[in-house]
Amino acid sequence: MVLPVLQYDNKYFEYVASNGYFLLKLNYFCPMQLIHRYTGHVGSVYALAQAGNGSFFSGGGDRIVARWSLEAPADGDLIARATDAVYSLCHLPQADRLLIGQGKGGVHVIHLAENSEERLLQLHDGAVFDIAYHSPSNRLFTLGGEGGVCALSADDFQVEQRIRLTEKKVRVICFHPESPVALVGIGDGSIALIDILSLKVLHRFQAHQEDFSVNAITFSPDGKYFMSGSRDAHLHLYETETLKLVSSIPAHNYAVYAIAFDPSGRFFATASRDKTVKIWDYEKMEVLERLEGNDGKGHINSVNKLIWLADGTLLSAGDDRAIQSWK
């Protein structure tokens, strides 16, 4: 008897066959295909955010924030011109607002329907490297180059709490999918586990080489593990409950800048200064595919940002001023 082929998210196939005595399982990963290349920016692209309705936002060193249709790469719309380089974006669809983190510590609040700037929040003394919305608490968190973390109400954008974690830059924040805690990546190679409600530091540990910035962190979909990527080019897998290091992998040749899970949780992608995007099998922690610019696809400079959309589209952005969509 031959059982049907099982398909997962159009990327992974498992073929199972049995004659009653033996079971044969063949697994096959479908290579990513370059779908579109978006080329409206005139500077490095540092930030991406989902926009809904088959579109996304981008921002970068040219201070421009644009909205793109996944299906029409030539039709980018100008959303805003920031006062400095754009390092982070956060879309609040329920409020129809877009928050833009720029290089001089400010956060622009854009009213999308009116296509206008509602206010400029001066929150940090250094660049705003990350902005993230925590739905259960209805709060926004911003991270600054001076080492500070701000918690704001998502209703009126008023600062509710503020802490200074370090003298180094803080680069990235990631929320646990169930518990009210978050991980913050710090420029000295450490990671801080903080309480979302109080901003109290629950634990801080040296996750990567000292003074090698932690640029990327993500929890596994079930929250049992998390991964971090650093300027030391390594990918680390930790057990969330114990903070035990499970695996340390030399993932790239240069700094790791981004990590993103696919919607199924079976795969994840990493991006690096070495100009590559790698697709990984999460269970095996093995590389399945390497996307690079040598064959006319991929990026030809550092890859700075990744997001994996719900429909299975992977977006990558880099210093080559381009955004690429893969599927």
| pTM strictly above 0.85 | yes
Structure-token pair, residue 301: 């400079």
**Tens-digit pLDDT profile for residues 57-98:** 999 999 999 999 998 888 899 999 999 999 999 999 999 999
Above pLDDT 90, what percent of the chain? 87
Calculate mean pLDDT across residues 10-27.
53
Answer for the pair 190, 169: CB distance below 8 angstroms, yes or no: no
Calculate mean pLDDT across residues 276-284.
97
Answer for the pair 313, 323: CB distance below 8 angstroms, yes or no: no
β-bridge pairing 139-144 and 128-134: antiparallel
Answer for the pair 235, 187: CB distance below 8 angstroms, yes or no: no
Answer for the pair 291, 322: CB distance below 8 angstroms, yes or no: no
Q: φ, ψ for residue 295 (rounded to 5)?
A: -100, 20
Answer for the pair 250, 256: CB distance below 8 angstroms, yes or no: no
Question: What sign does the dihedral 319-171-234-208 (CA atoms) show?
Answer: positive
- Which band of pLDDT confidence, cut at 50, 70 and 90, is reported for residue 2? very low
> Any residues with CB less than 8 A from the CB of 115 and at least 6 apart, and which?
79
Q: Could you count the other beta carbons within 10 Å of the beta carbon of residue 70?
A: 19
- Which band of pLDDT confidence, cut at 50, 70 and 90, is reported for residue 5? very low
pLDDT of residue 11: 60
pLDDT of residue 72: 87
Calculate mean pLDDT across residues 246-252.
98
- Residue in 136, 131, 135 with CA at minimum distance from that of residue 149: 131
- Which band of pLDDT confidence, cut at 50, 70 and 90, is reported for residue 297? confident
For the purposes of burial, counting CB atoms within 10 Å of the CB of 260, is it exposed (0-12), middle (13-18) or buried (19 or more)? buried
> What DSSP character marks residue 304?
E
Which tops the pLDDT comparison, 133 or 8? 133
Distance, CA of 53 to CA of 33 (rounded, Å): 22
- Which band of pLDDT confidence, cut at 50, 70 and 90, is reported for residue 20? low
Amino acid type, 300 = I
Q: Could you count the other beta carbons within 10 Å of the beta carbon of residue 92?
A: 15
User: What does the mean pLDDT of the chain come to?
Assistant: 92
Q: Is the pLDDT of residue 4 over 80?
A: no
Distance, CA of 154 to CA of 137 (rounded, Å): 9
pLDDT of residue 52: 87
Above pLDDT 70, what percent of the chain? 91
**Tens-digit pLDDT profile for residues 145-177:** 999 999 999 999 999 999 999 999 999 999 999
- Which band of pLDDT confidence, cut at 50, 70 and 90, is reported for residue 17? low
pLDDT of residue 18: 54
Name the residue with tokens 């199924």: 264
For the purposes of burial, counting CB atoms within 10 Å of the CB of 32, is it exposed (0-12), middle (13-18) or buried (19 or more)? buried
Distance, CA of 23 to CA of 18 (rounded, Å): 5
Answer for the pair 112, 78: CB distance below 8 angstroms, yes or no: no
